[in-house]
Amino acid sequence: MTKKTNKTDTISNIITAASAVFAERGLADANIQEIADHAGVTKQLVYHYFQNKNQLFACVIDRSSDDAMPGLIDELNQANITGQPPVLALRKLIDKTLEIYYKNPLMASLADDGIRYHCNNDTPRNQFARLGPELTEMLREILRRGKEEGVFRQDIDPDLLFATIGLIAGSTFTNRYVVNVLGKIDPTTEDGERLWRPFIVDLIASGVEVRNG
């Protein structure tokens, strides 16, 4: 039991050290020796548990999404979001999806490299892909009720809408330079967040809601 625990702790320690190095340097510039130094182990031990830098990076982003996605779903379930008035529920779901990046600085730091990695590699434990359908079902139910009540447009596709929400949420951090230059704010700062989050929630929701007059 002690041997197994020590192995688990060592692997966790290496992943934690790798998270800090990848967040600071990015996937391309990070190296195994620096990760080993941060973890207080030898480079050979890192390679004993991980075949290469890419495999270690995959474990880092897996842990990051493991922390973020289930937490988002739990929050929405606890808030009984599908039982709330459709307009309020939609806006809360959009805002909470944006919030996961603000609440998980590591995931935000790794967003750019993580997206590129997922595009070019098979990642079976990708929580975004695994849990995404559960979030889409929540959104689908919110849209269904909103359409029945006549407060949402009838032509809104839930899959495309959720893709749009996810794209903007991630792009807040992967393309913050564009927002900074063109929008004159840094959306990742506290002041920028106070402007950016409600603006994005209103922008997306207003495209779904039926406007009188």
Which amino acid makes up residue 89? A
Euclidean distance between CA atoms 76 and 71, whole angstroms: 9
CB 93 within 8 A of CB 139: yes
Question: Where do the domains of the chain lie, and which CATH numbers do they carry?
Answer: 1-50 (1.10.10.60), 62-206 (1.10.357)
Cα dihedral value 21, 23, 26, 32, nearest 10: 20
pLDDT on residue 149: 96
Of 119, 205, 125, the closest CA to residue 165 belongs to: 205
**Percent with pLDDT over 90 in the chain:** 47
CB 75 within 8 A of CB 135: no
CB 10 within 8 A of CB 35: no
Cβ-Cβ contacts under 8 Å for 103 (sequence gap 6 or more): 68, 71
For the beta carbon of residue 64, count every other beta carbon within 10 angstroms. Answer: 24
The model's pTM:
0.77
**Higher pLDDT residue, 49 or 117?**
49
pLDDT single digits (tens) 11-20: 999 999 998 8
pLDDT single digits (tens) 72-104: 888 898 889 989 999 999 999 999 989 988 887
Of 105, 98, 115, 106, the closest CA to residue 193 belongs to: 98
pLDDT on residue 45: 95
Give the mean model confidence (pLDDT) for residues 32-57. 92
